[in-house]
Amino acid sequence: MTVVDQRARPLRELRVSVTDRCNFRCSYCMPREVFGPDFVFMARHELLSFEEIARLGRAFAAEGVTKIRLTGGEPLLRRDLERLVEMLAGIEGISDLTLTTNGAALAGKAQTLRDAGLDRVSVSLDALDDDAFGALNDVGFPVTRVLAGIAAAASAGLSPVKVNMVVKRGVNDHCVLPMAAHFRQGEAILRFIEYMDVGSTNRWALEDVVPAEEIHAMIDTEWPLEPLAANYPGEVARRYRYRDGGGEIGLIASVTKPFCGGCTRARLSADGKLYTCLFGTAGHDLRAELRGGATDRQLARRIRSIWSARTDRYSETRALQDGDAEKVEMSYIGG
């Protein structure tokens, strides 16, 4: 029997951060002034091993999870990640195994990941213009290499490839139409994401948010859109297709149109803490139970007890929240 929380939301998806490290310093996730040369990342022994992640994957699957997404940090920085992919792909009940990446190393790893059992990838790309993209990734990484990764993923069969663009006013909002034009009738589905107040280091302000409705209007004026039905219950992106047959886009409006009521996601940090909300302030330490000798049944029971007590709905009550509360960083538990 699938476990549900206090708002009758089932546990269906697990996002697993495999590392807190990243080779980008995106301003909305890992701003350089905080995550600089002196920042102390997790030591290797603090990270969950692949075997520990697989054990937890089986426990989550026993409680109803059917989808696992690997995140970070940047997950492709974790050595031999394809070995973990193979382990997770073999778990009974997991029907969708995906990965979110910045695309920097994807061109050289796409086929290996696919061969190991990965189903799909999502690639973060916030602009096609190197100046705008560089202003966000803050390491001068070229767009062409990310595009090469997207092409390699599509060629390897990691499809449909999804491209995620976080839109920040005054930084890359002028790139919305060029991005839409590039990916129309292409090899990927472009999704526009409202800039969110994840963590406490990115200096988020409401005036920096470009509402999804504004993005929709920009694109619809140029290429008329029509809505599509959701692929599955709880899908966070509102889907649209171009009326001229030019493919599909998605709009993720966590700030202006919260979707807490349909959220079915749990998140596992790289050091084994379970979070029941992206905007959480505290996690539940599963690593201690793993390393303390808990059986598979005890782990599943612990997961059930945490999820069944869940009441999170941060995005619906954002305006009522304590602005000084220390929220967990996106790089710690993934987006």
* The model's pTM: 0.94
For residues 70-85, average pLDDT: 97
pLDDT the model gives residue 98:
98
pLDDT tens for each residue of 162-200: 999 999 999 899 999 999 999 998 889 999 999 887 766
List the beta strands (DSSP E) in 93-169. 96-101, 120-124, 161-167
pLDDT the model gives residue 199:
65
pLDDT tens for each residue of 116-151: 999 999 999 999 999 999 988 999 999 999 999 999
224 touches 184 (CB < 8 A) = no
Which residue type occupies 213? E
* Residue 219 in this model has a pLDDT that exceeds 80: yes
Q: How many CA atoms lie within 13 A of 152 on its CB side?
A: 19
Q: Is residue 261 helix, strand or coil?
A: helix
| Residues in CB range of 268: below 8 A, 6 or more apart | 14, 15, 16, 17, 48, 53, 56, 274, 275, 286, 333
Strand pairing of 273-275 and 284-285? Answer: antiparallel
Residues, the chain: 335
Taking residue 58's Cβ as centre, other Cβ atoms within 10 Å add up to: 20
pLDDT tens for each residue of 294-304: 999 999 999 99
Nearest to 287 by CA among 268, 265, 264: 268
pLDDT the model gives residue 150:
98
Confidence of residue 235 (pLDDT cuts 50, 70, 90): confident
Q: How high does pLDDT run on average in the chain?
A: 92
Q: Which domains does the chain have, with CATH numbers?
A: 13-333 (3.20.20.70)
Confidence of residue 74 (pLDDT cuts 50, 70, 90): very high
